Amino acid sequence: MSESNKRTAHRLLDALWNQEDFAVVNALIASDYDGHSSTEFHGPEGAIEFVPMLRNAFPDFQFRVEDQIAEGDKVVTRWRMQGTHKREFQGMPATGRQMSITGITIFRIASDKVIEGWTNEDLLGFYQQIGASPSPV
C-alpha cells in the first residue's frame, strides 16, 4: 500500500504543479479533500485555484519531488519549487528575481484518492527572494 500511495502522491504533485493536468488532479483528489497550508482549501477546486496564478507570475516555474516516505495511509514529500518572477503576483509587480524554496507536504490517502493534506513551505524565504519582504541582516 505504501508504494502505491507514493505513486499517487507523486502523480498528483506532478499533474498539479508541472503538467497543470487538472483532469488528473480531479481524479486523484477526493471531493471532500481538506487542505491545510498557509491557506485552508477544500476539494480539488481549492487545490487547482492557486496554480494558474503562480505559473502566470513565474512562467519558468518548476516543481521537483526530492524525497518521499510512506507509512500506512500517509505520504510525506519533501519538494523544491523555483522560478523567475516575470509578472505581477498577488499585487506585487514583476521583479525579475529568481526564487527557490523548499517545503514538505503530508498527504493522507484512501482508495487511491488524496483525502487530506498538510503543507509547510518557506513563505518568508519566498517573499524575501522576490523582494516583497526585507531580507535578514
The CA distance from 10 to 86, in Å, is 27
Our measurement of the distance from residue 87's CA atom to the centroid of its chain's CA atoms, rounded to an integer in Å, reads 19
134: in domain: no
DSSP 23-48: HHHHHHEEEEEEEESSSEEEHHHHHH
pLDDT in the model for residue 48: 86
Residue 56 lies in a domain: yes
Residue 8 covered by a domain: yes
Whether residue 136 lies inside any domain: the answer is no
Task: Answer whether residue 6 is part of any domain.
Answer: yes
Total of domains in the chain? 1
User: Which residues are 82's β-sheet partners?
Assistant: 62, 100
Kindly state the helix (H) or strand (E) to which residue 12 belongs, with its residue range: helix 2-13
**Reported confidence tier of residue 132, pLDDT bands at 50, 70, 90:** confident
> 15 is in which domain, residue-wise?
2-129
Judge whether 14 lies within some domain.
Answer: yes
What pLDDT score was predicted for residue 136?
Answer: 65
Mean pLDDT over 72-91 rounds to 96
- In angstroms, rounded to a whole number, what is the distance separating the alpha carbons of residues 13 and 25? 8
> pLDDT tens digits for 28-58?
999 999 999 887 888 999 878 888 989 999 9
Distance CA 101, CA 27 (A): 28
State pTM to two decimals: 0.91
Whether 63 contacts 79, CB under 8 Å: yes
Predicted confidence band of residue 129 (pLDDT cuts 50, 70, 90): very high
Residue 1, pLDDT > 80, answer no
